[in-house]
Amino acid sequence: MKKLALITASLALLATPVLAQSTTTTGAAPADAKFSTVSKDEMFSSKLKGLNVYNQKEESIGEITDLALKNDKIDAMILSVGGFLGMGEHYVAVSPSSVNVKYDTKNNKWLATMNTTKEALKAAPEFKYPK
C-alpha cells in the first residue's frame, strides 16, 4: 500500500508544471501574422526556376536558375548561359525589368523573353555567388 501511495505521489509531482526562472529576451516581439490571398494567375518562384529565356528570334539564350532578393523585392534574376550539359556554362545577373515573364494561356505555360542575344549574355560579367 505504501508503494502505491509513493508511486501516486511521484506521478502527481511529475504532472505539475515546473516553475522556471524568468528569461529576458532582447529585441521586439514579432508582429501579428498577416495573411494574403493568392490568386491562380500569380507567379511563383518555383515556376521561374528552370524557365528557359528566349530572345526575339525565339532562340533559347539562357535559363533562370535563381533570384536575388533585396529589401523584399527581386533585385536580379540569375541566368545560366552558354555551355552544354552543364559544362562551360556561367551565370549572369540581370535586372528583372529586362526579362519579360508572362503566362501563355493558349499553351498553359509560363514564358520568359529578353531583347538580347546569346553572345551578349555570354560576354556579360560573370555572376559568382558570395561566400
Longest CA span, the chain:
91
The C-alpha cell at 108 is 498553359
pLDDT of residue 28: 67
pLDDT in the model for residue 5: 43
**pLDDT tens digits for the chain (131 residues)?**
444 444 444 444 444 454 445 555 566 666 788 888 888 767 788 888 999 999 999 999 999 999 999 998 989 999 999 876 667 789 999 999 999 999 888 988 889 999 999 899 999 999 998 88
Name the DSSP letter for residue 83. Answer: -
Compute the distance between CA of residue 91 and CA of residue 94 in angstroms, rounded to an integer. Answer: 10
CA-CA distance, 50 to 66, in Å (whole number)? Answer: 8
CA distance 50 to 57: 20
Instruction: Specify the pLDDT at position 68.
Output: 93
